[in-house]
Amino acid sequence: NKLLPVQVNLTVCLPTFGRPGKPVYCCPPRNMLDDPIVDFEFPDPATTPIRVRRFAHRLDEESIAKYEKAVSIMRSLPYSDPRSFTRQANLHCQYCTGSFLQQHSTLPVRVHKTWIFFPWHRMLLYFHEKILGSLIGDDTFAIPFWPWDLPDGMTLPAFYLNGSFINHQRDPTHFPPAVADLDFQLAPGGTSPEEQTDLNLALMYNQMVSGAKTAELFMGCAYKTGEGGDCFGPGTMERAPHNTIHKWVGSAFHTGREDMGVFYSAARDPSFYAHHSNIDRLWEVWRATHPEVNDPEFLDSYMYFHDDTSRLVRIRFRDVMDIDKLRYRYEGVENTWLAARP
C-alpha cells in the first residue's frame, strides 16, 4: 500500500458536523470543477512589492482604516463570489470539518492535528491577504499578526472591537485589557496580569523550544493518503496556544465557544486571520533552527484556493515553504519567551 500525497477530491462537497449533533453545510454554491483550474505560480519579484505583516497592537490609524475598509468591502460581496467574507470563512469550515474527501481514498480531508496544519493555514492567509489588498487596490497590504506570545501583545488587539472587525460571538470578559491565558482551560484563572504573562512566556518556551525538538512534536503527525491517512496528533503549537486562543476569544454562551472556538465557525471572526498570522510567524521562527520536513508525500500534497481574480488555484505545500518567494515577511520582534526557560 503505497503512501501518496494528499490530494483533494473536488467532485463532491459533503454536509458535515460542525460539532457533535450540529450539521453544517459550508460548500460553495456550485461545483468548483465548473471553474477552470490553474496551477499556482509565484508572484513575479520584479513587479510584486513585499508585504510586511506587522505587530497588530502597533498598527497606525491609517493602516487600521485600510484594513477595515478592505474587510467591509469583502463583507459586501455576494456569496456567489469566492472572494466574499463568508466564502473565505467557509473554506476553513470545508477543510476542517471534512467536506471534501481525499483522492484515492474514502477518508475526508482534514487539515488539523497533522503536519499540514501550518502550510494549509499559510495558503489560506496568502490568498485571503491578496484578495483584501486587491479590494482596496493596495498590493502592499498585509494582514497584521496578533503576537499573543509577547508581553505587549497578550490582549485582543483593540481595533477588533470596531467597524467591520466586530464579531458578536466573542467573550466580552476577554476584551482588552484582559491578558490572554495561553493555556486557557475554560475556567477563570484568578491570576494577576503579571503572573499570567510569566505563565504564558514559560508555556511558549515549552511549546517552541523544550517540547518541540522534532518536526513530529512541533508540527503534528505525518498525514498521507490511504494507510496512515487517519492521523490525529497535533503538534505543540497547535494544541496551545493555537487551540486555547481560539477558545479564549469565542463566546462563553456557546457550547463550542463559537465563533472562534470551533472549526466550522472560527474564520467568521476577523481576529482569526491575525491569530493565524502569528502562528505562521512562529512556524518561521521554529524553522530557522530546525531541519525541514523534506518528505515528498508532504511537499507534493495539494489544495485548492480561489485567488484575487477568482480563479481556482491548485497549490502544493512545496509552493509555500519559502515566504520570500511568496513576497511577504514579518516585522522583526524580540521573542522574549526564548529567555523564559524555567
- Contact footprint for ligand C2O (CB under 6 A): 92, 96, 112, 121, 242, 246, 266, 276
254 is a catalytic site residue: no
290 is a catalytic site residue: no
Among 92, 128, 275, 306, the active-site one is 92
Nearer to ligand C2O, 89 or 96 (CB): 96
Q: Give kind and range of the element (H or E) at residue 95.
A: helix 85-97
DSSP 254: S
CB of 138 to ligand C2O, least distance (A): 26
Nearer to ligand C2O, 83 or 242 (CB): 242
Nearer to ligand C2O, 66 or 92 (CB): 92
CB of 45 to ligand C2O, least distance (A): 29
C-alpha cell at 119: 502550510
Nearer to ligand C2O, 51 or 276 (CB): 276
242 is a catalytic site residue: yes
DSSP 230: -
Is the distance from CB of 204 to CB of 334 less than 8 angstroms? no
* Bridge-based pairing state of the strands 312-316 and 37-39: parallel
Among 40, 55, 112, 127, the active-site one is 112
Is the distance from CB of 138 to CB of 235 less than 8 angstroms? no
Among 57, 128, 174, 276, the active-site one is 276
Q: How far is 177 from 112, CA to CA, in rounded Å?
A: 30
Q: Is 337 exposed, middle or buried (0-12, 13-18, 19+ CB in 10 A)?
A: buried
Nearer to ligand C2O, 101 or 266 (CB): 266
CB of 13 to ligand C2O, least distance (A): 18
Query: Closest residue (Cβ) to ligand C2O?
Result: 96
Q: How far is 321 from 65, CA to CA, in rounded Å?
A: 31
In the block, residue with C-alpha cell 512589492: 49
How much helix, strand and coil, in percent to the nearest 5, is found in the chain? 40, 10, 50
Nearer to ligand C2O, 203 or 249 (CB): 249
Among 246, 272, 275, 298, the active-site one is 246
92 is a catalytic site residue: yes
276 is a catalytic site residue: yes
Among 128, 174, 242, 275, the active-site one is 242
Is the distance from CB of 281 to CB of 121 less than 8 angstroms? no
CB of 96 to ligand C2O, least distance (A): 5
121 is a catalytic site residue: yes
Q: What are the angstrom distances between the C-alpha of 234 and each of 48, 84, 239, 248?
A: 35, 30, 6, 19
Helix (H, G, I), strand (E, B) or coil at 178: coil
Which string of DSSP letters, residue by residue, matches 10-51?
-S----EEEETTEEE----SS-GGGS-EEE--PPPTTT-PPE
Q: How far is CA 42 from the centre of its chain?
A: 20
174 is a catalytic site residue: no
CB of 228 to ligand C2O, least distance (A): 21
- Positions marked catalytic: 92, 112, 121, 242, 246, 263, 276
